[in-house]
Amino acid sequence: MDDRLYVQVTESMVSEDTRRRELAPLQKISDNYEKIVLSLEPGLDSSYEGIKSISLISWLVGGRDQKHLKKKKYLHL
């Protein structure tokens, strides 16, 4: 089975302008594969229209999402 995951990386998701900029490429993708944004400051919400916002540090040190993501093929936007 071909698992696919779209990952966007940014320093912060706190600013509304930054959120719009970082989410825009993922929102343009019309398939149903998982989409996440990794950042040092994930912002107030953990999800934006189905796009997950995850702490980069937690992911790097082995948070619950890291195990799930290791099995995926990565497409960097």
- The pLDDT of residue 10 is 93
Gap between the Cα atoms of 36 and 77, Å rounded: 11
Could you write out the DSSP letters of every residue in 13-49? --SHHHHHHHHHHHHT--S-SEEEEEEEE--S-SEET
Q: Name the band, by pLDDT with cuts 50, 70 and 90, for residue 1.
A: low
Q: Which has more pLDDT, 62 or 68?
A: 62
- The pLDDT of residue 74 is 47
Question: For 4-55, what is each residue's pLDDT tens digit?
Answer: 899 999 999 999 999 999 999 999 999 999 999 999 998 877 888 889 999 9
Nearest one of 75, 69, 55, 59 to 12, comparing CA atoms: 55
